[in-house]
Amino acid sequence: MADEVRPVIRAAGAVLRDGDLVAVVHRPRYDDWSLPKGKLDRGEAAPAAAVREVFEETGFRAVLGPYLKAVRYAVDGVPKVVDYYAADVVAGSFAPNEEVDELRWLSPAEAAGLVSRDEDRSVLAAFTALPGGLRTLLLVRHAKAGKREHWSGDDDLRPLSAAGWRQAEALRGVLPLWGAARVHAAPRLRCEQTVRAVADDLGVAVRSEPALSEEGYWPDRDAAVARVARLLEEDGGVPVVSSQGGVIPDLVEALAALGGVALEEGRTPSKKGSAWVLSFRPGAPGWSTSDPVSRWPRLAAAHYLPTALGKPLS
């Protein structure tokens, strides 16, 4: 008889920052001090759960930053995995509630001294290891568009399949959690369709990015990396870029090499409907006119989101 598959409790949380201070909450049910966190709802993705739990426990709306780490421990013998993100306060105020009766804003060092669990201290250590002033770019692989051999028209016009539209709808709900504000896509219908709903919700157009298509990228990879740097320097918030599987792994590896970032498990996956959350140090002012490569924004952290679709929970 095959071994019984043990259930895993999935949860998500955040180091919620307001300026130089972070939030620590007291949970009367456990009489402990903790970082805001909670279990995923059925079908919910971890980033969405992190933002929801922060709001429910603290009353603050938050925008996500870099992924920090996964914490693993057991609850009554059942494995539990908690994914943590950095997050910044956008709006809101705290009021005592059923889950949390007190919130304190502390320096990260003070927070590490107050929290009850060593796991939370390890998350705070990952948070403090990040440089300040990071900027985010969301690099998305277009959603499913059916098989090329089953499409008789121009491949640039191959549209999303029914499964692809479901992936695009899931991305619509997740990408704004990082403060998505501008939307760009390689000149492929499937790339544009993948992020069109995000653009519609934001009230912006999807801007074409020929340098980030497969035929534009490979003849001049440096120009593509420079285009990413330009997107980061533009005003207007976090850019979303929808591109292709023939571009994304190499582009992420190039950015990681420039920034000296070790990728998770040394891999650069790029499933359809997935995204890379890329966090950059700001570039030096005027980098385009003097020694541009050395003055580009530098990648500081990279996290792969294999799907925005939440998995059913047992």
Look-up: residue for tokens 């792969």? 304
Q: Write out pLDDT tens, residues 85-103.
A: 999 999 999 999 999 999 9
The closest alpha carbon to 88, from 13, 175, 16, 12, belongs to 16
Q: Work out how many domains the chain is built from and give that number.
A: 2
On whether residue 314 sits in a domain, the answer given is no
Residue 311 lies in a domain: no
Q: Are residues 115 and 200 in the same domain?
A: no
71 and 188 co-located in one domain:
no
Verify that 120 and 257 share a domain, yes or no: no
| Residue 156, in any domain of the structure | yes
Q: Does 154 lie in the same domain as 284?
A: yes
Q: What are phi and psi of 197, to 5 degrees?
A: -65, -35
Q: What are phi and psi of 15, to 5 degrees?
A: -90, 105
Domain span at residue 278 reads: 135-305
Does residue 117 form part of some domain?
yes
User: What pLDDT, in 10s, does the model give residues 195-228?
Assistant: 999 999 999 999 999 999 999 999 999 999 999 9
The CATH number assigned to the domain holding 189 equals 3.40.50.1240
Rounded Cα gap, residues 230 and 292, in angstroms: 11
- Are residues 206 and 262 both part of a single domain? yes
Q: Which of 85, 113, 128 is the last residue of a domain?
A: 128
Which two three-digit tokens encode residue 114?
A: 């107050």
The CATH number assigned to the domain holding 113 equals 3.90.79.10
93-101: Cβ within 8 A, 24+ apart: 93/59, 93/60, 94/58, 94/59, 94/60, 95/59, 97/56, 97/57, 97/59, 99/27, 99/29, 99/38, 99/56, 99/57, 100/25, 100/26, 100/27, 100/28, 100/36, 100/57, 100/58, 101/26, 101/27, 101/28
Q: What is the pLDDT along the chain (314 residues), one digit of tens a residue?
A: 445 556 899 999 999 999 999 999 999 999 999 999 999 999 999 999 999 999 999 999 999 999 999 999 998 899 999 999 999 999 999 999 999 999 999 999 999 999 999 999 999 999 999 999 999 999 999 999 978 777 777 777 899 999 999 999 999 999 999 999 999 999 999 999 999 999 999 999 999 999 999 999 999 999 999 999 999 988 889 999 999 999 999 999 999 999 999 998 778 999 999 999 999 998 766 555 556 677 788 999 999 999 877 754 33
Same domain, 54 and 13: yes
**Does residue 38 sit in the same domain as residue 181?**
no
Verify that 289 and 165 share a domain, yes or no: yes
